[in-house]
Amino acid sequence: MTKISSQKYLDQAIVNQKIDNSDFIVTLATISDDYQVVIDGHHSLEAAKQAGVDPIFVESDYNYMSEVECIGFDNFLAAHYIDSAWYDVESGCDEF
């Protein structure tokens, strides 16, 4: 499943703190059979990458699929946009 985000801004001090605390937990929301959105843990994901460890992916308790079903995939992405084009967090590619 492709993991996507629209948040690219990183504060290196936060990333360093996450590394120091071994905080590599990334919360995902499943929004379709093909996609999961990083909803929390963007800095933890980068910390894991910089530390050379696997991030710990956990699924959100909230049912985001029901939101997608209600407003549609594109509207969901627009509503949850943060600061960059949506991209594949594993490859870094803007096209997913």
Write the DSSP symbol of residue 63: -
Bridge partner list, 49: none
Task: Record the tokens describing residue 61, joined without a space.
Answer: 């308790």
- If one counts every other C-beta atom within 10 angstroms of the C-beta of residue 83, the result is 9
Question: Average pLDDT in the 1-25 region?
Answer: 97
Whether residue 96 has pLDDT greater than 80: no
Q: What is the pLDDT of residues 53-79, one digit of tens each?
A: 999 999 999 999 999 999 999 999 999
- Supply the pLDDT for residue 95: 74
Instruction: Specify which residues 26 forms β-bridges with.
Output: 57
Strand boundaries in the chain, DSSP class E: 2-5, 25-30, 35-40, 56-59, 87-88
Q: Kindly report the number of other CB atoms within 10 A of residue 22's CB atom.
A: 13
**pTM for the complete prediction?**
0.90
| Architecture of the domain delimited by 2-88 | Alpha-Beta Complex (3.90)
